[in-house]
Amino acid sequence: MQRIIRLGTRASPLALAQAEETRDRLRAAHDLPPEAVEIVPIKTTGDQVLDRALSEIGGKGLFTKEIEEALFDGRIDIAVHSMKDLPTRLPEGLTLAAVLPREDVRDAFISPTARSLADLPQGAIVGTASLRRQAQVRRRRPDLQVITFRGNVQTRLRKLEEGQAAATFLAMAGLNRLGRPDVATRAMAAEEMLPAVAQGAIGLEIRADDDTTRLAVAPLDDPDTADCVATERGFLDALDGSCRTPIAGLARLDGGDVVFQGEILRPDGSEAHSIATRGPRADGARLGYEAGQLLRSRAGPGFFDHLG
Ligand SMILES: NCc1[nH]cc(CCC(=O)O)c1CC(=O)O
């Protein structure tokens, strides 16, 4: 009898869409019947805190801890994660077995009235819960007022319609996976807003000793995405991946090379440091890590004072 493969994921519409994509790819790779792959929605700490900026609660893995527990307990075989939400160091006994082909890496600018960030009137209100986007907006447009903005796509669009803010941002990847690319007023180029590390990538985490599942997910791995994400996560790892440091990073391939760009900012946008580097794609993780170390030393100890 065919073993049932259980996919664990958050219960949000985006998380479910990502799990469905994983299920479809698994079924196609092994010619499996529908009942062979089951999706198990799991509530996480991050899902239960809706009224505060996530950064205020602190701690890494807000969206992953309960799902990893289910993996350890054997309630699921594969944890499907937005790589963006996955801490750089995985718990002992778990491993990243595959990274799916990346969606659009860019951030979407969303506004009922303006065409772009530069186009917003002086002093306009912009809503986002992301520390990175808050810092990048303040850096580029110090005149704007930034407020914390959370909730799903529908909630945010309603808040925009009500005039609570003139604009917001969401990952293009999420909008595309939800079948709502129309929500984006414009996709922002990386030069305008450098995306979060691993944005648009889905990772499959399994038990390190589960060889059956490792073999099952192997054909789903996209080496191009995996090498880029490894570079970006190396960068994040060197910077300690603190939830309170706005960090952005994007790697692309150019032949056999990985081309990386990274940025760290003060939350108020008063200071930013960026770095660009390239090297053999096989060395991506080390390259990213070294870029992070260099940026850390360039920024100096004072830069991280706000962490206190
Ligand atoms: N932090 C929440 C989160 N985690 C992943 C995505 C979008 C999908 C992705 O980047 O892969 C989002 C929402 C957003 O940033 O708009």
Q: Residue 1 Cα, ligand 1 centroid: separation in angstroms?
A: 37
Average pLDDT, the chain: 93
| The pairing of beta strand 167-171 with beta strand 247-254 | unpaired
- The closest alpha carbon to 105, from 266, 285, 236, 229, belongs to 229
Whose CA is closest to atom 7 on ligand 1? 174
Residues 249-276 pLDDT 10s:
999 999 999 999 999 999 999 999 999 9
| The pairing of beta strand 186-188 with beta strand 202-207 | unpaired
- What's residue 60's pLDDT? 63
Whose CA is closest to atom 9 on ligand 1? 200
Q: What is the mean pLDDT of residues 272-299?
A: 97
User: CA-CA distance, 283 to 262, in Å (whole number)?
Assistant: 16
Based on the residue annotation, tell me whether 254 is a catalytic residue of this protein: no
Q: Residue 31 Cα, ligand 1 centroid: separation in angstroms?
A: 30
Alpha-carbon separation of residue 105 from 50, 147, 152, 193, 249 (angstroms): 25, 24, 19, 11, 10
Q: Residue 253 Cα, ligand 1 centroid: separation in angstroms?
A: 22
Ordered by where they begin, the domains of the chain are 1-102+200-221 (3.40.190.10), 107-188 (3.40.190.10), 222-308 (3.30.160.40)
End-to-end CA distance of the chain: 56
pLDDT of 25 higher than 50:
yes
Residue labelled with tokens 């789903």: 220
- What's residue 59's pLDDT? 57
* Ligand 1 neighbours by CB, cut-off 6 Å: 82, 84-85, 170-171, 173-174, 199-200
Supply 203's token pair: 């990772």
Residues 138-151 pLDDT 10s:
999 999 999 998 88
Residues 38-79 pLDDT 10s:
999 998 877 766 545 555 455 567 778 899 999 999 999 999
User: CA-CA distance, 224 to 207, in Å (whole number)?
Assistant: 23
User: CA-CA distance, 137 to 131, in Å (whole number)?
Assistant: 10
- What's residue 219's pLDDT? 98
- What's residue 307's pLDDT? 54
Least confident of 45-54, 169-178, 289-298: 45-54
Whose CA is closest to atom 1 on ligand 1? 85
**Torsion of the alpha carbons at 257, 105, 269 and 286, rounded to the nearest 10:** -30
Q: What is the mean pLDDT of residues 269-287?
A: 97
User: CA-CA distance, 83 to 199, in Å (whole number)?
Assistant: 7
Probe ligand 1: pick from 14, 50, 99, max atoms within 8 Å of CB? 14
